Amino acid sequence: MGVRVVVRKLIPLFMAAAFLAGCITERAALITHPDYADVFSGKGASFPFVSYQSQNADYRGELLGFSTAYHEVQSEATGRMAVKLREPGDHVAFTLREGVNAMVLRYCMPDSATGGGMDGSLAVYANDEKIGTISLTSKYAWLYNYAAGWPGNNDPSTGEPCRFFDDSRMLFGDTYPAGTTITLKKEDDVEYYIIDMAEFELVPAPLTRPDNSLSIADFGAVADGRDSRIALINCVREARAQNKEVWIPEGDFTIGDSFNITVNGVTIGGAGVWYSSLNGGAYFMVNGSNNYFHDFAVFGEITERVDSSATCAFDVRPGNDNRFEDLWMEHVKCGFWVYGSNNLVIKNCRVRNTIADGINLTYQTRNSIVENCDLRNHGDDGIALNSEQNRDSNSNTVKNNTVRVAYHANGIAVYGGGNHTIQDNAVYDTVAYGGGINISSRFNPTEFYGTTTVTGNVLVRTGSAASTSERRTNHGAIWLVAWEKDVSGVIFSGNRLIDSTFDGITIDGNGSSIFSGIVFQDNSIENANGYGIRVYSGARGSASFTKMAVSGASRRTLDNPGDFIVNGVRN
């Protein structure tokens, strides 16, 4: 049986709608389980993989119990629990609920003593037959001194570790039916492996080359480790000249890291995200209008954050009607950093293991949509609508996305601007310095205007501890911030906040900026590990609440020690 193994870090997402179990508080974790699919039906992204949690599998090893404590490994696991394999023969065994031919494994393994990472592997068995090994590495994981020395470094001697997990993917040579047990077994002398979860998928056959296309292979690209950068650049240039598409055939093509690949008015497509990949330095600078990227993967080599580096998978400049669909990207600074686009579409993308934001729409981006994307393990906001430095981004929509395990900052954030919509997303397990959804006037944005609509979202185990440089001690699952300018015209409706790490909703101000037109209607807060609603003393203005259901908060429903006016909620 042929086994195709590709080592990559995946930015995964809890297929929100599908596999959650009952809500519990800090005493235990909320577990994925298909019996609860109806609870979150229509929320989050829909992808062809199924997530299996290690703590629900058969295993021999150590269960790392539920924790949200920053710098504990399991705090960055989906569900905040994981299984540690130490001894040869320790294993995690997943019983398939449907037929699959591919797997993504989310795991942690030790860093090297000097911080550069190490390599390892786990044996893979289908029932009792060994079908291969999956290669693992800690090269892209482990940052240190993140809180005090933001944005961290790769030096273990500086302490305060975070960013523990990475992903590796494996395309099996066969399809294994429901009922098959896929076992990951430790058979080497690496000190330990920690298994968070596996995603199993039935990958369809590769796509075929379009007639009106030029293949990068025709320009000298080879999937053998040699640098194919010039071949890709020449193919893009010639495709534009001939009004043809660029075709990336099956294979892992190495792209040397020297400068961005400029694309203007070109379609670039591949055989599918499991088949066509650009590895190394494939960082695209997207100019102009009517660019279309689809059906391939970008796997970078970024191991620490350098904001001055142009190492986003897609750096999108002003233009109209650009589309990005069915893409997979990891180990880049950001998946998408978008400047000033109009009518942009980002859809059906997997954005995982970025060192900074997953997707950031900024600098006057408008009338654009991020839909059905799966994001995980980001070093900054998962998805941001960003009007920072008074550059007005407006009328954008973030809809039906799943965002998991932002190890720094928020799941979804809106920084100023007007008429944005955040709808039917699922956000899980924010770790530090952010909320599940953050509405904020930080970073000198355009003031809020019109209506910002936050509706139908599910936030599970979100909110987090604040950084030591900030005034507060925690952030709520919904985190409202008026620290630099007023915040107005925000409507929250039909959102569920479940097992919030601290408070359900926090409202915070600088003592002078005003909240106005803040409306909460038909929302629920379930089992918050703090207050249901907490208003800090610096908040000014008011918010109204109707049909607000708060249950199981470990403290009380409302804490409001200052002059802020809360209409419709009493302790």
Q: What is the pLDDT of residues 227-267, one digit of tens each?
A: 999 999 999 999 999 999 999 999 999 999 878 899 999 99
Q: What is the pLDDT of residue 2?
A: 32
Helix ranges (DSSP H) in 196-340 = 229-242
Residues 6+ positions from 403 with CB-CB distance below 8 Å:
13, 358, 375, 376, 378, 382, 383, 411, 412, 425, 426, 427, 428
Sign of the alpha-carbon torsion through 262, 264, 266, 272:
positive
200 close to 94: Cβ distance less than 8 angstroms: yes
DSSP string covering 428-439: E---BS--SEEE
- pLDDT tens for the chain, 571 residues: list them: 333 333 322 223 233 333 333 222 222 233 333 334 555 789 999 999 999 999 999 999 999 999 999 999 999 999 999 999 999 999 999 999 999 999 999 999 999 999 999 999 999 999 999 999 999 999 999 999 987 778 889 999 999 999 999 999 999 999 999 999 999 999 999 999 999 999 999 999 999 999 999 999 999 999 999 999 999 999 999 999 999 999 999 999 999 987 889 999 999 999 999 999 999 999 999 999 999 999 999 999 999 999 989 999 999 999 999 999 999 999 999 999 999 999 999 999 999 999 999 999 999 999 999 999 999 999 999 999 999 999 999 999 999 999 999 999 999 999 999 999 999 999 999 999 999 999 999 999 999 999 999 999 999 999 997 755 555 568 999 999 999 999 999 999 999 999 999 999 999 999 999 999 999 999 999 999 999 999 999 999 999 999 999 999 999 999 999 899 999 987 7
Residues 6+ positions from 146 with CB-CB distance below 8 Å:
152, 160, 162, 163, 408, 432
Determine phi and psi for 275, rounding to 5 degrees.
-115, -40
Q: What is the pLDDT of residue 468?
A: 53
State the residue for tokens 């289908």. Answer: 126
DSSP string covering 49-112: EEEEEGGGSEEESEEE-----TTSGGGGSTTS-EEEE-STT-EEEEE-SS-EEEEEEEEE-PPP
Instruction: Identify the three-state secondary structure at position 187.
Output: coil
Q: What is the pLDDT of residue 467?
A: 59
State the residue for tokens 């409302």. Answer: 558
Residue 280 to residue 253: CA distance in whole angstroms: 9
Residue 375 to residue 356: CA distance in whole angstroms: 12
**Per-residue b or e along 150-189, where b marks 16 or more CB atoms closer than 10 Å to that residue's CB:** ebbebebebeebbbbbbbbbbbbeeebeeebebbbbbeee
Residue 183 to residue 91: CA distance in whole angstroms: 7
Sign of the alpha-carbon torsion through 524, 527, 532, 538:
negative
Residue 372 to residue 325: CA distance in whole angstroms: 10
408 close to 379: Cβ distance less than 8 angstroms: yes
Q: What is the 3-state secondary structure (H, E, C) of 383-402?
A: EEEECHHHCCCECCEEECCE
Amino acid identity at 238: E
Nearest to 539 by CA among 570, 505, 503, 512: 512
The strand ranges marked E within 406-557 are 412-415, 421-423, 426-428, 437-440, 452-455, 458-460, 464-465, 474-475, 478-482, 487-493, 496-498, 505-509, 514-521, 524-526, 533-535, 540-546, 549-551
Paired tokens of 227: 């640098």
Do β-strands 558-559 and 533-535 pair in parallel, antiparallel, or remain unpaired? parallel
Burial (CB count within 10 angstroms: exposed 0-12, middle 13-18, buried 19+), residue 78: buried
Paired tokens of 326: 């069915």
Residue 520 to residue 543: CA distance in whole angstroms: 8
Q: What is the pLDDT of residue 36?
A: 40
**How large is the C-alpha radius of gyration of the chain?**
23
